[in-house]
Structure 1
Amino acid sequence: MKTYVILRRHGWRTAADLEEAAARSTAEGDSRPDDIRWIRSYVLGETDGSLGTVCIYQASSPEAIRRHALAASLPVDEIVEVADTVVVREDPVPAHS
């Protein structure tokens, strides 16, 4: 499998909408573990108040990502294959209030 970045702009109106989408994505991905794996996502605060994401997936192909997105009702604006990974620092742990 290769690693891909998936850009999903303005995909959700609320955090609850995004949580529902994440549950659908997980369920769909778990049914195809040899075809696609969700690694992580970064949630984007869009200028119009909606939420987008930058998602990191491993998949057999961009077509597998599109099939997964269609089955889970997720938007896909762009899919880019990752050429290499450079980790300068680990992702920070979010502060919880």
Structure 2
Amino acid sequence: MPRYLVERTFPDGLHVPVDAEGASALSKIVEANSSQGVTWVHSYVSADKTRTYCIYDAPTPEAIKQVAERNGLPVNNISEVSVLEPYFYH
């Protein structure tokens, strides 16, 4: 399955509570993603919490866009990516 980097901007910052409410919100995103065969692998959040760089496995970029809309999440850019690890050459 292809892997994608999804870039998002949150002008007011991304605020996910570190409690049961936050866990529930993230679980709902994961559940909605699964309806389109999209798997959220992990995300990187900028220090000011206004940008995220998310890694997804998905059948198509359109599937990512569909679940993002369903989840109320912005999408600035989607790029297909592959893994390059520094230890490959050792």
* Alpha-carbon displacement from aligned partner over 1:17-71 (angstroms, at most 9, x marks no partner): 7x47634422212344xx211111011124xxx4321000010101000001011
Structure having the larger proportion of residues in strand: 1
State the number of aligned residues: 82
Give 3-state SS (helix, strand or coil) of 2:16's partner: helix
- Structure 2: gaps of 5 or more residues: none
**Taking structure 2 as the reference length, what is the TM-score of the superposition?**
0.73
Pairing of 1:76-91 with structure 2 (within 5 A): 76-82=75-81, 84-88=82-86
- Structure 1: gaps of 5 or more residues: 90-97
Q: Percent identity?
A: 30
Pair 1:41 & 2:5 matched: no
Structure having the larger proportion of residues in helix: 2
Counterpart amino acid of residue 15 in structure 2: A
**Taking structure 1 as the reference length, what is the TM-score of the superposition?**
0.68
Q: 2:16 matched to which residue of 1?
A: 16
Aligned CA-pair RMSD: 2.4
- Structure 1 stretches (4+) deviating beyond 6 angstroms? none
CA contact (8 A) 1:15 1:51 kept: no
